[in-house]
Amino acid sequence: MGSDEFLALEAQLEALERQADAAERQTAAMEAIATEMRYQNAVLCEMIACLDDLSARVDEHHMPDHPPHDRSGPALQTWIHDRLFERDQLEDDGPEFRWGSPENWNGGDRDE
């Protein structure tokens, strides 16, 4: 093996090591993002549960015609999934089960 071939192989090895380092950094960054998203999702779910509880108390205080909302965590998740599905169905030109566009975020249960 000549010295040129050795230098070429050494350069390839260095390039592969840089790629491996970059992949490791990307993996670490993606794991950090996933951890942050899990935290934010937990906070959002807690806020939804608190708002749902608050709306039940306000309804009780104002003596509604119907019983207050009493939804479990899985029921809230189903409600959110249903709302996303409804918004996505409004987008005829896009694939199903997307987050939807902001124009479709209004409406729903309220009479407007």
Residue 2 DSSP SS3: coil
Residues 89-97 have a mean pLDDT of 57
Distance of CA 35 to the CA centre of its chain: 12
Residues 77 and 29 in one domain: no
Residues 64 and 101 in one domain: no
Q: pLDDT for 30-81, tens place per residue?
A: 999 988 888 777 778 777 877 877 777 776 556 556 665 666 778 777 777 7
**How many domains does the chain fold into?**
2
Distance of CA 37 to the CA centre of its chain: 7
Residues 44 and 88 in one domain: no
Percentage with pLDDT > 70 across the chain: 62
Parent domain of 106: 71-112
pTM: 0.44
Residues 54 and 75 in one domain: no
| Per-residue pLDDT band at 92 (split at 50, 70, 90) | low
**Beta carbons within 8 Å of 71's beta carbon, 6+ residues apart:** 52, 79
Residues 100 and 50 in one domain: no
Cα–Cα dist 100/69, whole Å: 26
Residues 111 and 80 in one domain: yes
Residues 40 and 50 in one domain: yes
